[in-house]
């Protein structure tokens, strides 16, 4: 667990002050890590996140590993699936990958128990179903399948101006597969 914290703090420091809003150092200062990492493959066998339905505890990490061709992950609101929720919403940037998986991964910290909705902002990937959730409330109408349905008519994906809200770091386990 300690090494993960060090990794995140070191990465936040390496990113410097370029991030205009919330930095991962801010998150690290107030979230106690559980040591649990949820690995998500991005773009395996098509336009999808695998798994796309994640249940995580506060302090868990969710780590996105990118496969061909060129995807991203952005946080959305449930109501508007293919645009950033707000100016603080996480955005991984794009990961052009020709084969295998990306050398870098994008990690986010689960900071609370509220549902998190996300999508790929490349072209029409979002409207084609490249969306996912963390901690959806299965007893609410706001399910992942409903979110995916909303995305169908949401138009092109919108990126953030900056990579933010998480850490883009070298793959911590490059030989472990995904």
Q: Which stretches of the chain bind Cu ion, using CB under 5 A?
A: 71, 120, 122, 125, 130
**Least distance (Å) between residue 71 CB and Cu ion:** 3
Asked if residues 106 and 64 have their Cβ atoms less than 8 Å apart, the reply is yes
**Least distance (Å) between residue 125 CB and Cu ion:** 3
Asked if residues 40 and 50 have their Cβ atoms less than 8 Å apart, the reply is yes
Residue 48 or 136 with smaller CB distance to Cu ion = 48
Angstrom CA distances, 113 to 122, 137, 148, 172, stand at 28, 10, 21, 26
Residue 4 or 71 with smaller CB distance to Cu ion = 71
Helices (H), 16-163: 24-30, 144-151
**Least distance (Å) between residue 28 CB and Cu ion:** 28
* Residue with the CB atom nearest Cu ion in the bound state: 120
Residue 33 or 106 with smaller CB distance to Cu ion = 106
**Least distance (Å) between residue 55 CB and Cu ion:** 23
Q: Give the count of alpha carbons within 13 A of 120, CB side only.
A: 31
């Amino acid at each position: 667990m300690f090494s993960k914290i060090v990794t995140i703090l070191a990465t936040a420091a390496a990113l410097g002050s370029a991030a205009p809003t919330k930095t991962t150092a801010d998150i690290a200062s107030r979230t106690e890590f559980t040591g649990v990492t949820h690995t998500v493959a991005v773009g395996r066998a098509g336009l999808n996140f695998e798994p796309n339905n994640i249940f995580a505890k506060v302090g868990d990490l969710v780590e996105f590993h990118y496969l061909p061709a060129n995807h991203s992950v952005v946080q959305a609101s449930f109501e508007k699936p293919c645009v950033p929720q707000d100016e603080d919403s996480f955005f991984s940037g794009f990961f052009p990958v020709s084969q295998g998986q990306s050398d870098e991964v994008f990690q986010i910290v689960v900071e609370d128990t509220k549902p998190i909705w996300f999508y790929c902002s490349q072209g029409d990937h979002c409207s084609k179903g490249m969306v996912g959730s963390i901690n959806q409330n299965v007893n609410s109408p706001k399910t992942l399948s409903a979110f995916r349905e909303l995305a169908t008519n949401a138009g092109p994906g919108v990126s953030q101006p900056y990579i933010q809200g998480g850490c883009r770091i070298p793959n911590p386990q490059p030989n472990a597969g995904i």
